[in-house]
Amino acid sequence: MNIVVDANVYLAVILNEPEKQIIIEHTKGVDLISPEVLPYEIGNALAAMFKRKRLNKEQIMKSFDIFNTIPSYLAPVNIARALDISCMFNIYAYDAYYLELAERLKIPLFTFDKQMKNIAKNLEIKLIDIES
């Protein structure tokens, strides 16, 4: 099975958030797919945590190393369709990239972002929901 995985799910794993173990259980034996911009998005999120003094440089570097060990396929995005989704729902293009992939590939989306979940339902994209 393939699923599109949002950056916030990767961050929960690499930062040892409480959801880490259940995420690992739900993704065991599953092929993880994300937009090819994922490493940049993860890097930006880690840099933001450094800027807010949530993580130090050593923790950031270690977190990015952990991220690089997670097997995932980085897929090209149909940016025109993603921009269409972005404008339709007034969201950032980065969020629309995940929705575009899940919609086009007809596979579930795994995210913790409530707004993205609502949009996915509107677009008839199946969700991986660990909160049930």
- Res 132 pLDDT > 50: no
When divided into structural domains, the chain yields a total of 1
Task: Indicate if the pLDDT at residue 131 is higher than 70.
Answer: no
- Rounded to whole angstroms, how far apart are CA atoms 76 and 89? 21
Is residue 81 domain-resident? yes
Q: Is residue 11 part of a domain?
A: yes
Mean pLDDT for 105-115 is 97
Is 76 a member of any domain? yes
Residue 99 maps to a domain? yes
- pTM, whole model, 2 decimals? 0.93
Residue type, 6: D
Residue 19: give the domain boundaries: 2-37+71-122
Nearest to 100 by CA among 126, 116, 81, 127: 81
45 domain-assigned: no
CA nearest to 12, candidates 97, 118, 111, 108: 111
43 is a domain residue:
no
* pLDDT one-digit tens code per residue, 3-40: 999 999 999 999 999 999 999 999 999 999 999 999 99
Q: Residue 49: inside a domain, yes or no?
A: no
Instruction: Read off the pLDDT of residues 43-92 as tens digits, 9 standing for 90 and up.
Output: 999 999 999 999 999 999 999 999 999 999 999 999 999 999 999 999 99
Is residue 116 included in any domain, yes or no? yes
